[in-house]
Amino acid sequence: MRKLLWLLFFPLAAQAAGEGAWQASGMGITLNHRGQSASSAPLVPSQPVSGLMTLVAWRYELNGPTPAGLRVRLCSQSRCVELDGQSGTTNGFNNVPAIEPMHFVWEVPGGGRLIPALQVQSNQVIVNYR
């Protein structure tokens, strides 16, 4: 059901800016210990873009339960935005150059081993720009 909702949402996110959008996705990470952070590979446009970001949509999928206290941020080269769920939109990157790569950062506060480990299956962004 979530995948269906995301597919329905994609055209709305891509049209929101009026000028253009790029989409990128990647494989996730595995985080084995609390108190450490892990970053996704950079998500970049497949071709050169110009303009400034407007609405950015994100989505990530976990394999397994969400650890208590999980903190997820979406970052460009110049700014990070705290995410409040596994999918959504933000205007937190307004006026950031649309060519900047994006990446996710996952962190679980505390210390010790995560049992089970945090496994991120996939992550995706849609960057609208004008």
**Model pLDDT for residues 10-61, shown as the tens digit of each residue:** 544 444 435 899 999 999 999 999 999 999 999 999 999 999 999 999 999 9
Tokens of 80: 């990070």
Q: State residue 126's pLDDT score.
A: 98
Identify the residue whose tokens are 């999928």.
61
For the chain, how many structural domains are there in total? Answer: 1
Domain range for 31 is 2-129
Global pTM exceeds 0.95: no
Residue 8 — very low, low, confident or very high, per pLDDT cuts 50/70/90? very low
Q: State residue 98's pLDDT score.
A: 97
Mean pLDDT of 100-117: 96
Q: State residue 17's pLDDT score.
A: 38
Q: How far apart are CA 118 and CA 10, in angstroms?
A: 27
Say whether pLDDT at 4 is over 90.
no
Q: Identify the CA nearest to 121 among candidates 33, 65, 70, 61.
A: 61
Tokens of 77: 């080269």
Mean pLDDT of 90-94: 98
Tokens of 14: 């891509």
CATH of the domain at 61: 2.60.120.260
Q: State residue 7's pLDDT score.
A: 44
Pairing of strands 71-75, 113-129: unpaired
